[in-house]
Each structure stands twice: as C-alpha cells, then as structure tokens.
Amino acid sequence: MGRAIINNQDCDFAPRETILDASRRLGIEIPGLCYDERLKPFGGCRLCIVEVEGTNRLDAACTTLLEDGMIIHTHSGQVESQRRGLLRILAHSCAEPDTPQWELPFYRYLRTYGLEDELNPDHDPRLLDDSHPYIRVDMSQCIHCNRCVAICDQVQGQHVWKVWFRGHATRVRPDSGDSLLASSCVSCGACADTCPSGAISDRTLYTSPPSSGAVWTKTTCPYCGVGCQLNAGVANGRIAQIRPVLDDPVSNGHLCVKGRYAFDFVTSPDRITSPMIREDGQWRSVSWDEAIDYAASRLKASIEKNGPDSVGILGSARATNEDNYITQKFARVVVGTNNVDCCARVCHTPSAAALKSMLGTGAATNSFNDIEKTSTILVCGANSTENHPIVGARIKQAALRGCKLIVIDPRRIELADYASVHLQLKPGTNVPLLNAMAQTIISENIFDAEFLRHRVTSFDELKHFLGTYTPEAASEICGVDADLIRKAARLYASNGPAMMVHGLGVTEHIQGVEGVMCLTNLALLTGNLGKPGTGVNPLRGQNNVQGAAQMGCDPGILTGSVSIGDAFSRFSKVWLAPLPRKAGLNLMQMMDRAIEGKLKALWAIGYDIALTNPHRDETVRALRSLDLLIVQDMFLNETAKELGTVFFPVACGFERDGTFMNGERRIQRIRRIVDAPGQVRQDWEVIARMAEVLGHGHQFNYRSPSNIWDEIRTVWPDAAGINYARLENQGLQWPCVNETDPGTEILHRDVFASGQKAALRSVTYRRTTESSNDEFPFVLITGRVLEQFNAGTMTLRTPNTILHPFDYLDISPEDAAELGIRDRSRVRVVSRHGAATLPARVCKSMRRGELFASFHMPDARLNNVTGSGRDRFVDTPEYKVTAVRVEQTDRDP
C-alpha cells in the first residue's frame, strides 16, 4: 500500500497499480486511445499523459506505476494542450458527423477538444474492405492505435492484423495482405469491439444502426456449453448488435463468431409461428387449443392402450433448466414413465457416468479460470479452438505464456501447433494410449505418493493390471511412438499443476465411459484433483446440456443427479405423486423399441434426432414406426419435416427468461430481450398446458420460470443457495447450499463427493468393429466446425453460411492424389450403413487413411454413413469411427 494525490484527492493504492487504474477508481476519466483493459498497456497513443509534480516529463498514465508520495495532475493546462496537439495530428482520419461511429471514443475526444472540423472529408475508396459478412474495414478511419493488432494477438491469438510498411506509408492490414475475408480471420469480432475510431466495425452498425436508442441487456449465449455472457443491444424490436461483457469470468470480455454475430436466425422468415397438425401428409396451421387438445388426447390414448412405457420424451439441451425440469416431471408424473432423456446421451453422458462413479459428482471438477493457473494442459479429443472458442483462445494464450500443452487427437488440430507433445493416435484407441501413460507414471515412480496414500485406493490392482501395458505394447495398437507416450506422461506427471480438458474424441466410442475413466486414473495417480489448475474437465456441448441432464432428463436419475431409489419420497412429496419405479429407456433404446413396435409416441423438444442420430436409416425407421411424434422447436427441423405429427412452435433463447448451466456448473440467467413472433410460446408454458389438459394442472401450476426455479431449489440441495436475485449480476457454480454460500469453483478439495478415497480403474481395451478392410479402406471421423452449430437450424440461417457453406470431407493430400480427388470436387462416402455426398477438401491436418467430416447440413446428411456401435454402459453412439470408402462423383458443388 502507498499513498499519492491525484487532482488534489488522496489516493491509497496497491502495489503495481497504474495511475490510470487508480484515477478510474476515483472517477477521473483520462482520455486514451490505445488502452483496453483486456490488453497489456503499451502507452502507444500518449493521450493519457499526466503531469507528475517534481519531474519534467509527462508520463503515460496507463503504463506508469504509482509511487508513494506522487502528486499527479491529469488535466493541467500543459497536459490538455499536449493532448489537443496529439489529437489534431490524428484527425487526418475521416468520418462524418452523425454517422454510426460518431459516438466512438475518438470522435468524442475530438468534440471535447473542439477539433471535429479538422477531420478529413475525403474517403480513400481503396482503403474500404467490405468483403466480410460481419466486419467492415475502412482504413481511411485508422488512427494507428494498434489495438486491433494487440487484441488479435493477446486475446484471440490469431495474429491476423499486421502493421505493414513504415513511416507515412504505415498501414494496418490483415495477414492476407488483401481482404479480411481472404485472411486467417476467425470472425471473433474482437478488433471491431476494441477499435476506437470505426476503422474496423460491425457491419450491423451500418445495416441496422442501433443509435436510435438501443436498449442493452445482459444475457447468456445460446450456443455452446462455455456460457459466455452477452450484452445485447436491441433497437426497433430487433437485435442490432451483440458485444462481450468485460467483467464476465467465463469470457473475460471476448466472444466468438456465433455468440457475437450469429443471431439472424431469430428473425428468419421461416420461423414457425403457429402450431401445426399433420393431416393426409400435409401440415395444417391450427390454434394452440386445437394442437394441445389433439396431442394430449393422442398421448392419453397411447397410455391407455399400450401403457405409460409406450411413450418417450426428449428434453432439450438448448432450452432452460426450468424447461427441462418440468419436462422430466411431466414424463414421471403425468405419463408415469422414466422414458425421458436428452442429447447428453449422444455426447457427454459417458463423462458424467465415469466421473460420478469414480469421484461422486458427474461434472467438471474445475473451472475455466483454472486455465490461467495451471502449468500443463492435456487436451484429449477436444477441438476447442473451433468448438469452445473462448476456452480455446484462453488455452492458446496460456501456451503462449509458457504453459505446456499435450494434445491427443488423430488430427493436427489448431492446438497441436502450440503443443509440446501431439499424440496422433488412431481413432478409437484412447484406452491403450492412456493406460500406457498410467503405466509410465507408475513404473517411473512419478506418481504423487502422498495423494495416493490419503485419497486413492486400488493402486496395487492397477499396477498389476498395467504390468504389460508398456508404451511399446500400446504403440502397436494406437500407432503413437512409445517415446512420445512416455514424454507426455512425464510432462503431465511432473510439470504440475496439470489440468485436463476432454471432448467427444473420448466419449463417442464404444469405450466412451472407460476412456474417461482412464483419464481420471491419470489425474488420481498424479494428485491433479481438488486443487487450482487441475482436474478432469469435459467440455460440455450445448448451452444447457449440463443442465438438461442435471435436471433429470435421463431415464436413471432425478433432478440433482440422484437415483430414483434414493430420492423417491423426497420427490413424491414435492410432486404430489408417486414416481414410476420401472427403469426407463434412454434415447437409443427408445429408437430400438420403436422399431420393435413397443414405443408408440415420442415428444422431441428441441432435438433434431432425424439429422443428428447415427445410422439414419435406422433412425428414420424408428420414427416412422411411431403413432405420434410431437416436435417442439423454432423451425421445421429434419425430424419435423418428414416425420412429425404435431408441431409446437416455441421461443428461442433471446425471447424468454430462465437459466442455463454451463460446462463448469455455473448457473446463469438468460433474459427476454425481444418478443417472440406470432403465436410462439415458451417451452415451459407448452409443457405446463399439456399437463393441465391431461388433468395435472395442480402439479404444474407455475406462473414464471423463477417459480419453477424455486421448486428446483427445494428438490436439489446443491442448488438451494441459488436464487434469481443472486444471479442478477453474475452466475453461481453449484454446489451452493445456502444463500451465503459463494458457490464452488473446485470440487473434491479435501474429500471426494463419494467419500474420502477414490478407486483407480483397470480398463481392458476393446477393439471397435468398425475396422477398415479392402472394401472400406478409410476411417471416417465425424465432428464439427467453428462457424456451424450441430443441426444447423440456427447458424445456417445466418451469414455464417457465407463463411462456411458446406459440410466438407477432409482428406490428406496423399490420399487425394492417389484417388485423383480434386479440392472441392464432390465425392461420395460409403460405409456398411449408408452413403453421403459432399465436397472434398484436401487438408494437411489429415493423415493417410483417415477422413473427417462435419454433420451440420441437411443436404449432406452425413449420418447416413455412421453406424450402430454404442458404448456398452450408456449407449453413446460411436460417431468417431466408421469404416468407409470414397468414390468420385462428376458433379461440382
């Protein structure tokens, strides 16, 4: 602590506080053009100069640290006249009054210093780049503050913006040397967000200027499980612009191309705005009363004729906790079945099951903030720079600062470029690879003996089991050099704290659960649990998939992840009904029973199974066998299009209130910022109304989402301390057991949720049956890309489609040459299960014999090709390995 005087005010300051930070704290605004709290201050623009008594210099407030006894003047005559001089030099930039950028800091300062008339009225049209669908570049307005360069380097880590030439000719340009669209830009918009002069700005500022009194509201991104906070500006009833929230602990003031820009789906002309019933093969718009009466009576008929277990319900990982809570309550109380599930089944249920069985809680052990606290990050089967871009950017920055990275992925994903070790294993061989890492840690005595003594059991069993699992033996199966496996094991065990993040490259295999168990073994052996910068952290998929499952959209568990047997009486009391005891069907079993004619009715809420389930032939066969298929969505998705019987149109995440739960157990508010179109209703309202019509109004008598949340708190003790008032400014991570509990960043600190000690698991490797042969010589990996999201219903209705128009088949240059496949020519991928046609992309990130494709687009229908392999414990499909061949077609896309 020290004391200084700023503009005659006393100022106590902490060590290493800058003059700028302290002044802001005192409410003194010092102009600055190169300062952004997300960046390292670099004192480039010199506009924040201040006078320090007793020195002859003027110092930049953003880079000068306070010293005891300093007397500072931030707006003295000398300072102000120098500032005016500096601004006058910069006023060569051009902008016209009352244009959208007129409110940006640079023009505000010009007005403050009476310099607006100095602006140059001439645009240089050669400096305008209008190529990008979201970001407009007009370097006539550039004032060379270099914030775009800095934020692209220091926050996104993409290094797109470069300073070209010197002196008078200095220009800031993208790395393409040409247009932004042609550059390596990932469209995160950070440059547009930080630019103080409008040289780089959001295009929406010009197409739908929010200047006419936009209202800004904080909400949560509707895309992935990272759960970034958004600041949404609404003007004339439409979203005009979305900006990051600077003090958001999840995003640290950053967003990706989806969160920031992909919101046009909200006003898409093909939103379904009235309920519909299919008659003679055609959809007919009907009133809500008619649609609900019809669906309810058909559901009732099915229950009466075939029993409650002839009905299945799928909750939505895109909808709120409140929606999902009443979805599973509806299944159990109104229908009387445990046949309720959600898409966590095809995604991270293996992570939840493995973590729950080994550690006692089926969720990420640590938080995204641990990325900045760790020394080593192991990234296994997760392509985070595309699929969890804010986490990916944080990992890249950590690596640039010296954190070690181990990447386990068959493809050379972007993070592999930053890795100390990249283990490029054959798809489907995580178990032998991770076992060999454990074997190395044990045989080289680099485990954490102290941690093992106090917190771990079954060490001797594992040691015995792994006796022959040497890196050499594993290498034969997974194709990774034995020494590289050792190197990775040593790094993870010795350069702690070490943290893991993993993705579908672990879970979507026949050994999904066991893959996660092998990862957890490594964390237990090395004591990397219960501490900052450690843990086993599944990067959860959608905005609320963690929540949907945690709310009980799972046949085996109730809200709060308790088994039905354990919580029967607690729930019956609140729900005023007994619970069904018979084990329920999961999503994959529902498909099987439908084909057998035993499941007759399905209600799919926000889930496009026809497009996204594997082995499409089988999925379609199952859905065709149903008597009743209710689809509840914003759009006529593929499931509804061909196969739906009733359609309930509902609001999207920007049109309603409620909460989402992100991948680090953080519960955050979403807010209604625009009105839903036409007769569209909220998910929870539709479910509650169905319950009422079926005679259960008294149990579904809710007035609002917060009403539902308050019931959730009463049945789920770990959320008892979370109420809407506490969520007003920021989210809370469960467990949070009372209203003074700050929530939990790190699980299992002193004991595991399951008890004092956790047991290591000995996992035997099982080979996939999707092996290649002469007929099917390639292994196809399926997954996703940055610009598109899952079933594509949202991103395909935005300009993201300009940025990424197709599902491509990525193939190595060697294989492409051998098969005579040209880049972007159309090819057919054929498996034992079906075929799909899509354009090929020749990629250096692919190895010989392996292919990659995304599954976002209805016209490619990649899931024609995927098969019926499943995890043997939880039935998660084996999306990550399919044996295929590639055939040329004549057509170009």
For Mo ion, give the closer residue by CB, 533 or 547. 547
For residue 438, give the nearest of 368, 339, 314, 521 by alpha carbon.
521
For ligand MGD, give the closer residue by CB, 210 or 315. 315
State the binding partner of 394 from ligand MGD, Mo ion, none, CB within 5 to 8 A by kind: none
Q: Dihedral (C-alpha) 368, 346, 846, 435: value to the nearest 10 degrees?
A: 70
Query: Residue 803: CB partners within 8 Å, gap ≥ 6?
Result: 133, 187, 257, 787
Helix or strand or coil: residue 812?
A: coil
Regarding 505 and contact with Mo ion (CB under 5 A), the answer is: no
Instruction: Choose the binding region for Mo ion from 537-545, 824-832, 835-843, 852-860 (rule: CB under 5 A).
Output: 537-545
For ligand MGD, give the closer residue by CB, 555 or 663. 663
Task: Report which DSSP code applies to 229.
Answer: E
State the binding partner of 782 from ligand MGD, Mo ion, none, CB within 5 to 8 A by kind: ligand MGD
Beta bridge partners of 267: none
State the binding partner of 308 from Mo ion, ligand MGD, none, CB within 5 to 8 A by kind: none
Residues that bind ligand MGD (CB under 6 A): 224, 316-319, 343, 346-347, 380-384, 386-388, 408-411, 413, 425, 427-428, 430, 503-506, 508, 539, 541-542, 605-608, 612, 632-635, 637, 650, 652-653, 683, 781-784, 786, 788-791, 793, 855, 862-863, 866, 879-880
For ligand MGD, give the closer residue by CB, 197 or 612. 612
For ligand MGD, give the closer residue by CB, 634 or 643. 634
Regarding 347 and contact with Mo ion (CB under 5 A), the answer is: yes
Residue least distant from Mo ion (Cβ): 541
Whether the Cβ atoms of residue 747 and residue 819 lie closer than 8 Å to each other: no
For ligand MGD, give the closer residue by CB, 292 or 567. 292
State the binding partner of 411 from Mo ion, ligand MGD, none, CB within 5 to 8 A by kind: ligand MGD
- Minimum separation from the CB atom of position 863 to ligand MGD (A): 5
For residue 794, give the nearest of 259, 160, 133, 81 by alpha carbon.
259
Question: CA-CA distance, 280 to 219, in Å (whole number)?
Answer: 42
Distances (CA, A) of 604 to 36, 73, 262, 781: 45, 65, 24, 27
Q: String of b and e for 590-625 (b: at least 16 CB within 10 Å)?
A: bbbbbbeeebbbbbbbbbbbbbbbbbbebbbebbeb
Angle at which helices 105-112 and 77-90 cross, to 10°: 130
Query: Residue 322: CB partners within 8 Å, gap ≥ 6?
Result: 658, 659, 684, 705, 708, 709, 712
Question: CA-CA distance, 243 to 718, in Å (whole number)?
Answer: 32
State the binding partner of 408 from ligand MGD, Mo ion, none, CB within 5 to 8 A by kind: ligand MGD
- Minimum separation from the CB atom of position 542 to Mo ion (A): 6
- Minimum separation from the CB atom of position 143 to ligand MGD (A): 34
State the binding partner of 340 from Mo ion, ligand MGD, none, CB within 5 to 8 A by kind: none
- Minimum separation from the CB atom of position 78 to ligand MGD (A): 52
Question: CA-CA distance, 312 to 331, in Å (whole number)?
Answer: 8
Beta strands in 686-825 (DSSP E): 732-733, 758-759, 778-783, 809-811
Beta bridge partners of 660: 668
State the binding partner of 147 from Mo ion, ligand MGD, none, CB within 5 to 8 A by kind: none
For ligand MGD, give the closer residue by CB, 580 or 834. 834
For Mo ion, give the closer residue by CB, 314 or 406. 314
- Minimum separation from the CB atom of position 344 to ligand MGD (A): 7
- Minimum separation from the CB atom of position 138 to ligand MGD (A): 29
Task: Report which DSSP code applies to 65.
Answer: B
Whether the Cβ atoms of residue 523 and residue 500 lie closer than 8 Å to each other: yes
Question: CA-CA distance, 250 to 256, in Å (whole number)?
Answer: 13
Regarding 354 and contact with Mo ion (CB under 5 A), the answer is: no
Regarding 541 and contact with Mo ion (CB under 5 A), the answer is: yes
Look up residue 300 and give its two tokens.
Answer: 């009732």
Question: CA-CA distance, 91 to 108, in Å (whole number)?
Answer: 12
DSSP structure string for 278-305: EETTEEEE--HHHHHHHHHHHHHHHHHH
State the binding partner of 478 from ligand MGD, Mo ion, none, CB within 5 to 8 A by kind: none
For ligand MGD, give the closer residue by CB, 310 or 612. 612
Q: Please name the residue ranges forming H helices in 716-812.
A: 800-803
Question: CA-CA distance, 830 to 422, in Å (whole number)?
Answer: 30
- Minimum separation from the CB atom of position 241 to ligand MGD (A): 21
* Residue showing tokens 């949202």: 794
- Minimum separation from the CB atom of position 220 to ligand MGD (A): 12
State the binding partner of 790 from Mo ion, ligand MGD, none, CB within 5 to 8 A by kind: ligand MGD
- Minimum separation from the CB atom of position 841 to ligand MGD (A): 15
- Minimum separation from the CB atom of position 855 to Mo ion (A): 11
Number of residues engaging Mo ion in binding (CB under 5 A): 2
H or E stretch at 311: strand 311-314
For residue 496, give the nearest of 370, 327, 638 by alpha carbon.
370
Task: Report which DSSP code applies to 156.
Answer: I
Beta strands in 637-705 (DSSP E): 646-649, 658-661, 666-670
Angle at which helices 616-625 and 587-595 cross, to 10°: 60
- Minimum separation from the CB atom of position 249 to Mo ion (A): 23
For ligand MGD, give the closer residue by CB, 64 or 328. 328
The amino acid occupying position 545 is V
For ligand MGD, give the closer residue by CB, 49 or 498. 498
- Minimum separation from the CB atom of position 488 to ligand MGD (A): 12
Instruction: Choose the binding region for Mo ion from 377-385, 455-463, 533-541, 700-708 (rule: CB under 5 A).
Output: 533-541
- Minimum separation from the CB atom of position 113 to ligand MGD (A): 44
For residue 173, give the nearest of 160, 185, 184, 186 by alpha carbon.
160
The amino acid occupying position 828 is R
- Minimum separation from the CB atom of position 317 to Mo ion (A): 7
Peptide bond into 735 cis (omega under 30): yes
For ligand MGD, give the closer residue by CB, 341 or 409. 409
State the binding partner of 380 from ligand MGD, Mo ion, none, CB within 5 to 8 A by kind: ligand MGD
- Minimum separation from the CB atom of position 405 to ligand MGD (A): 14
Regarding 431 and contact with Mo ion (CB under 5 A), the answer is: no
* HSE of 298, CA atoms in CB hemisphere, 13 A: 17
User: What is the CA angle 467-473-478, rounded to 5?
Assistant: 130
For ligand MGD, give the closer residue by CB, 47 or 829. 829
For ligand MGD, give the closer residue by CB, 2 or 479. 479
For Mo ion, give the closer residue by CB, 47 or 347. 347
Instruction: Choose the binding region for Mo ion from 265-273, 344-352, 457-465, 859-867 (rule: CB under 5 A).
Output: 344-352
State the binding partner of 298 from ligand MGD, Mo ion, none, CB within 5 to 8 A by kind: none
The amino acid occupying position 372 is E
State the binding partner of 191 from ligand MGD, Mo ion, none, CB within 5 to 8 A by kind: none
User: What residues line the site for Mo ion (CB under 5 A)?
Assistant: 347, 541
